[in-house]
A = this chain, B = another copy of it.
Amino acid sequence: MLTGRVDLSNTAGAVLGMVAIGARSGYEIGRAVERSLRFFWALGPPQIYAELRRLEAEGLLRGADETRGKRPRRTFEVTAAGERALRTWLERDEPVPLELRDPQLLRLFFADALPGVDASARVDAMRRRSERALDHFRAEILPAADGARADGFALPGEVARFGVELHEFIVGWCDRVEAELGEDRG
């Protein structure tokens, strides 16, 4: 069907957007996701390939076969209809929730539901996680965002800095809470 969806899902928007900024194959999209969207919109290979197939069937992407020997390979580009759909999705202004799903915060929430559970250990795990995340941002995501900036895309850099500052905020919060918990015990 060549008319396409009017309302893209967020995952469809992410995949279409990735093709729009230059990722051609499922694999390239997967690589780009790992270096950019990953921390606020994770996508695994099965989702990417399934979405590519749907978007092509709807006429929002045009696929080309680049099979070599028995190894299948397919590359994509955005059609005019795809660009319209992407624009509509980008500009949509419904109230979208911030979906945070954090097992660590969940454990901390219940840490005093049972006697003898060490809340500080939960907070410490949270802090270490954000420190690891910061390493990853500095090693992978910020450099990739600089690359995007060189290609004329500025927003990936802003979003990457959001990630960095978010984790810095979490580290600071953990330090404050650990100090408080220490006082209560002391």
Contacts and interface: CB of A to CB of B under 8 A. Distances in A.
A153 B40 contact: no
Contacts of A92: 107
Interface in A136-186: 152-156, 158-159, 162, 165-166, 169-170, 173, 177, 180, 184
A122 B17 CA distance: 16
A103 B21 contact: no
Interface in A108-157: 108-114, 117-119, 121-122, 125, 129-130, 132-133, 152-156
Contact of A13 (B110, B118, B130): B110
B103 A101 contact: no
A109 B156 CA distance: 5
Interface of A: 10, 13-14, 17, 20-21, 36-37, 39-42, 83, 86-87, 89-93, 95-114, 117-119, 121-122, 125, 129-130, 132-133, 152-156, 158-159, 162, 165-166, 169-170, 173, 177, 180, 184
A165 to B, nearest CB: 6
A98 B102 contact: yes
Nearest to A180: B158
Contacts of A83: 114
A90 B110 contact: yes
